[in-house]
Amino acid sequence: MKKALKITGITILIIFFMLIAIPFAFQGQIKDMVKSFINDNLNAKVEFSDVSLSFIRSFPQAHVTVDDLVITNYKPFENETFATAKNIAFTMSVKELFKSANEDPIVVNSIAIDEALLTLKTDAFGNNNYDITKEKANASVSADSSGGFAFDIEDYNINNSAFTYIDEKSNTQIYISELNHSGNGTFSEEQSQLDTETSANISMSIDSTQYLNENAIKLDALIGMNLKEQKYTFMENKGYINQLPLVFDGYVQQLEDGQDIDITFENPESSFKDFLAVIPEAYSKNMSSVETTGDFKVNGIIKGKVTETTIPTLDINIVSNNASFKYPDLPKRVNNISINTSIKNTSGNVDDTFVNIKTLNFTIDDDVFKSNAVIRNLTKNMLVNANIDGTLNLANITKAYPIDFDKQLSGILKGKLNTSFDMNAIETNAYERIKNNGSVSLTDFVFSSEDIVNPIQINTANMTFNPGNVSLNSFDAKTGTSDFKATGTIKNLLGFLLSDKKLQGNFNVNSNNFVLSDFMVEDETATKDSNKTTSESESLKIPDFLDCTINANAKTVVYDNLTLKDVNGTLAIKDQEANLQNLTSNLFDGVLALTGTVSTKTDVPVFNLNLGAEDFDLSKSFKDLELLQNLAPIAKALQGKLNTVIKLQGTLDEEFSPNLSTISGDAFAELLTTSINKNEASVLNKLNGALNFIDFDKIDLKDIKTRLDFSNGLVNVKPFNLKYKDIGIVVSGAHGFDKTLNYNAVFEVPAKYLGSEVNRLIGKINDPEVNKITIPVTANITGTYSSPKVQTDLTSGVSNLTKQLIEIEKQKLLDKGKDKVSDILGGILGGTKNETTKDSTSVKTDTTKTSDPLKEGVKDLLGGLLKNRKKKQDSTKNQ
């Protein structure tokens, strides 16, 4: 007995190891078999990492697995992935492994596909990416053909997979995710039954209209199969759309040119809770505890052929009467719900499908809301005709239904409106095809958006809808600390509300207080504020949904640290660019005029502006306006008035203020001033110390005019003139926005201001013309505005003037004539001697008489000249 058990155990062990080892002998044959099947049947590039065989996993059948399958299309979808699968497993009889690829078909009994991704695509020219089977492939799946595979499937399953269908011609997209499907039956018999279970999430859009969005579907179906006629009949089944149960009857039959469909369906129950079940669970929340009254029925018939030119006819109806619902955790109940909607197509032409919402009514508290609509031409240019009549307290929406908004809604909406339009008219702004009639009012509404910094509180808004436009009769709102009232015309309100079109219109806006930063998108570095609604990742931007012209009149406008009064002008906004036209304001006790553009289309905002200022108070403007401080820092010390015209361009920083290191432009300035603030005049005080003959407190500063240009943080100042008594001053040079200075001030100084020695010499000459002589004295100003350095050439100027005076006196002496010169020279050179002239006239000099100082000076000056003259005469004699 022990021996028998031992032999049995050894035998089982040997068989077990053979079951493990033998598959390795067939690896090459299996790979060849798979490659042969692919090459014979598919016109596509197919790759896989491995093919494996096991006798253990599906014993006593063989288990074949293909890993990491990738199928890639050839032209016209070259290099696009058609399908991938993590693995595909087949089970089959062991004897099937011994068939060659050219013998009878290899029979497969089951298939399991894991994590497959399949994309079916039709391009705009009608090409299909799934047309990859070769012509002989149809014969290869037949039981009578030789080679390839035949299927005698008992069960199959598809796990954690996804399916995509894209039709570019009809602009249709279907996405199925989290697909799990299994079925078992006998496919080899002409008539059999297939028991299936399916679950997935489905999204579908046609012509940019979303009909399903991640809706959960389930279907447990027993399907009768007539393989000879390729007809599949729903026998026992129950499906779910989200949580709405539906039962099906009918069949689907495959035809040569399409499919023949005859299906009826309805919800087996009639509770209004079935209607809430249609809504995705993410929005409807937990329905198990929802209280409902009233009925709800869905039924439909889909009948006809699916071909390239036709669809089945449709007759789908949704009806509910006198229904209500209340969520246990919410305070409000929705009552008197009436729904009567149908989806129909009576011709089989897809363009004739339409939705008729005959009734959609409900009440919340005392608010009654009624509506109806007809929507046609669903797959192309959708046509809408709708009527709305009712009152809705927006705050009650979240109190009656579990929907989450970023901010709590509030406000009362009242409207009676008929609208008729097609989507193409909205997209192309074809206003003549947009027919609106009626009125809508909104009170106490709060609007929050990532496109604005602060919520906008709309106190009242009244609109009249006209064909082609909307008249804004009144609009009273606040945001942040700003208030504004408006009237005007809106051209495409429906385009703004129903699509991504911009808000177009012309508006007249009046405001008592308008703070520019209240209307901008917040920067990520900005201080957090509880009433901010924007994300912390965006910079200051002009809202891109605006395409409008605003005629503004504001008593106070706050921009950065400036407060502008009585602002009037036109602002044209489009594509994140604001065009300022004839904007005027009272500022710094004068008038400001502004034209130009500000754009936030780029990551860094840019501006290009022309600025005019008239009668600006100098001390106020240079104290509060950093731009002026940098253009003319010395003007901060002046008191009076300023007229200027400035052209400038550059970028804006995160606070929407000019980035001074980037600005460039030019300016003309006129200073109308009479005094200097010594506390701010460090440069002038420094000049006072270097040039003691000028009192800068008395300098003439009236009507100073200058031009300057600036770029790269440097301001170049063209020469301009000043005057102090009879001293002319010319100033020119440059300074940086970093307050560094490099200026020259040239003073045309009359000789009389240059010290006692010069004045004593002038007195000796005793000539009125000498008093008119001036010399240029240059003061070079460097350093910084707060710590200036002044160097002058005053010493060398005085020295040059002295030489000039000596030359003048020398020339005067020479011009007095030979006789007078002889007398003077005789007296100077002879002392007490008598000197005889050529005409024998003699002159006496009293040696006891005090010497004339002028003669003494002239003697010193002319001594050298006489010596030179004598040498010249002697040389003549020697010749």
Along the chain (879 residues), what's the average pLDDT of each consecutive run of 10 residues? 45 40 50 64 80 67 83 87 88 68 65 90 85 59 44 80 86 89 77 87 77 82 85 87 85 86 89 77 70 91 89 93 90 94 92 93 93 89 92 89 75 92 80 85 82 81 87 92 92 73 88 83 44 46 85 88 88 91 88 90 89 82 76 74 88 81 87 68 73 76 83 88 86 87 88 72 68 82 87 79 74 59 50 42 38 39 36 46
- The domain in which residue 451 lies consists of 405-526+546-587
Domain assignment present for residue 396? The answer is: no
In 3D space, the residue among 82, 80, 176, 166 whose CA is nearest the CA of residue 123 turns out to be 166
What's the sign of the alpha-carbon dihedral 78, 83, 87, 93? negative
Residue-level pLDDT at 863 = 37
Domain assignment present for residue 260? The answer is: yes
Q: Determine which helix (DSSP H) or strand (DSSP E) holds 205, and give its type and residue range.
A: strand 191-206
**Residue that finishes a domain, picked among 558, 587, 616:** 587
Which residues are bridge partners to 750 per DSSP?
A: 774
DSSP state for residue 481 in the 8-state scheme: T
Q: Are residues 701 and 835 in the same domain?
A: no
Q: Determine which helix (DSSP H) or strand (DSSP E) holds 32, and give its type and residue range.
A: helix 2-41
Q: Are residues 220 and 105 in the same domain?
A: no
Phi then psi dihedrals of residue 141, to 5 deg: -90, -5
Residue 868 to residue 684: CA distance in whole angstroms: 51
Residue-level pLDDT at 841 = 35
Q: Determine which helix (DSSP H) or strand (DSSP E) holds 232, and give its type and residue range.
A: strand 231-241
Residue 187 to residue 196: CA distance in whole angstroms: 13
Burial (0-12, 13-18, 19+ Cβ within 10 Å), 783: middle
Q: Are residues 631 and 647 in the same domain?
A: yes
In 3D space, the residue among 164, 280, 166, 301 whose CA is nearest the CA of residue 212 turns out to be 280
Domain assignment present for residue 83? The answer is: yes
Domain assignment present for residue 380? The answer is: no
What's the sign of the alpha-carbon dihedral 760, 761, 766, 770? negative
Residue-level pLDDT at 838 = 40
* C-alpha distances out from residue 495 to 413, 418, 470, 548, 846, Å: 20, 16, 12, 14, 118
Q: How far apart are the first and last CA of the chain?
A: 168
Domain assignment present for residue 112? The answer is: yes
Residue 457 to residue 473: CA distance in whole angstroms: 17
Q: Are residues 436 and 554 in the same domain?
A: yes
Q: Determine which helix (DSSP H) or strand (DSSP E) holds 23, and give its type and residue range.
A: helix 2-41
Q: Are 823 and 839 in contact (CB under 8 A)?
A: no
Q: Are 396 and 417 in contact (CB under 8 A)?
A: no
**Please, what is the Cα angle at 251 between 247 and 255, to 5 degrees?**
150
Q: Are residues 260 and 301 in the same domain?
A: yes
In 3D space, the residue among 271, 252, 248, 277 whose CA is nearest the CA of residue 262 turns out to be 252
Q: Determine which helix (DSSP H) or strand (DSSP E) holds 273, and give its type and residue range.
A: helix 273-278
Domain assignment present for residue 522? The answer is: yes
Q: Are residues 137 and 214 in the same domain?
A: no
Q: Are residues 482 and 627 in the same domain?
A: no
**Residue that finishes a domain, picked among 127, 144, 169:** 169
Residue-level pLDDT at 473 = 95
Residue-level pLDDT at 483 = 94
Q: What is the DSSP string of 294-338?
A: EEEEEEEEEEEEE-SS---EEEEEEEEEEEEEE-TTSS--EEEEE
- What b/e string do you get for 725-746 counting C-beta neighbours within 10 Å, with b at 16 or more? eebbbebebebbbeeebebebb
In 3D space, the residue among 422, 309, 340, 329 whose CA is nearest the CA of residue 375 turns out to be 422
Q: Are 574 and 549 in contact (CB under 8 A)?
A: no
Q: Are 496 and 547 in contact (CB under 8 A)?
A: no
pTM beyond 0.75: the answer is no
Q: What is the DSSP string of 675-702?
A: EE-GGG-HHHHHHHHH-TT--GGG-B-T
Q: Are 732 and 716 in contact (CB under 8 A)?
A: no
Residue 119 to residue 129: CA distance in whole angstroms: 8
Cβ atoms < 10 Å from Cβ of 43: 13
Contacts from 802-806 at CB under 8 Å and sequence distance 24+? 802/757, 802/758, 802/761, 804/773, 804/775, 805/751, 805/758, 805/761, 805/762, 805/765, 805/770, 805/773, 806/761, 806/861
CA 357, distance to chain mean position in Å, is 39
Q: Are residues 220 and 348 in the same domain?
A: yes
Q: Are residues 562 and 651 in the same domain?
A: no
Burial (0-12, 13-18, 19+ Cβ within 10 Å), 161: buried
Q: Determine which helix (DSSP H) or strand (DSSP E) holds 195, and give its type and residue range.
A: strand 191-206
Q: What is the 3-state secondary structure (H, E, C) of 653-671?
A: CCCCCECHHHCEEEEEEEE
Domain assignment present for residue 242? The answer is: yes
Phi then psi dihedrals of residue 252, to 5 deg: -130, 125
Q: Are residues 24 and 41 in the same domain?
A: yes
Asked whether the bond before 76 is cis by omega within 30 degrees of 0, the reply is: yes
Domain assignment present for residue 398? The answer is: no
Query: From start to end of 600-677, where are the E strands?
Result: 606-617, 638-651, 664-676
Q: Are residues 731 and 820 in the same domain?
A: no
The two three-digit tokens of residue 776, written as one number: 């240029």
Phi then psi dihedrals of residue 538, to 5 deg: -115, 150
Q: Are residues 808 and 820 in the same domain?
A: no
Residues 6+ apart with CB under 8 A from 252: 231, 232, 259, 260, 261, 263
Q: Are 261 and 252 in contact (CB under 8 A)?
A: yes
Residue-level pLDDT at 681 = 66
**Residue that finishes a domain, picked among 800, 815, 830:** 815
Name the residue type at position 489: T
The two three-digit tokens of residue 775, written as one number: 């010399």
Number of domains in the chain: 5
Q: What pairing do the DSSP bridges indicate for beta strands 546-559 and 503-511?
A: parallel
CA 567, distance to chain mean position in Å, is 28
Residue 232 to residue 226: CA distance in whole angstroms: 6
Residue-level pLDDT at 159 = 93
